[in-house]
């Protein structure tokens, strides 16, 4: 008889299961995932230096593109921004500032 594999909160493998719950991963699992990623980064400094350099190159390219096409950039940004939920908008009945 096959029984369901057990998983444990507060471990990286547990995080992979816990994060699928409707409320997302619990604090212990998020901590385990963060520790796992920190260790992963520590063990691969050259990989992450390269990834950081690529990200910075991408940012420089986007800045240059925005300078070449400022109106298009503004319009695209406004379009993308419209898809983002504003966490500071007051929802009546949910508390927070009036």
Q: Which residues bind Zn ion (CB under 5 A)?
A: 9, 18, 26, 29
In the complex, least distance from residue 70 CB atom to Zn ion, rounded to whole angstroms: 46
9 or 36, CB closer to Zn ion? 9
Tell me the Ramachandran region of residue 91: left when phi exceeds 0, alpha when psi lies from -120 to 50, beta otherwise: beta
19 or 66, CB closer to Zn ion? 19
In the complex, least distance from residue 15 CB atom to Zn ion, rounded to whole angstroms: 7
Q: Which residues contact 30 (CB under 8 A, 6 or more apart)?
A: 15
In the complex, least distance from residue 29 CB atom to Zn ion, rounded to whole angstroms: 3
Cα-atom radius of gyration of the chain, to the nearest Å? 21
């Amino acid at each position: 008889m096959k029984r369901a594999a057990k998983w444990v909160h507060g471990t990286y493998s547990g995080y992979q299961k816990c994060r699928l719950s409707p409320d997302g991963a619990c604090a212990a699992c998020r901590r385990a995932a963060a520790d796992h990623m920190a260790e992963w980064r520590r063990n691969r400094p050259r990989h992450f230096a390269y990834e950081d350099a690529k990200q910075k190159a991408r940012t420089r390219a986007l800045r240059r593109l925005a300078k070449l096409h400022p109106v298009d950039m503004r319009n695209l940004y406004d379009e993308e921004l419209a898809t983002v939920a504003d966490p500071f908008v007051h929802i009546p009945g949910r508390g927070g500032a009036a």
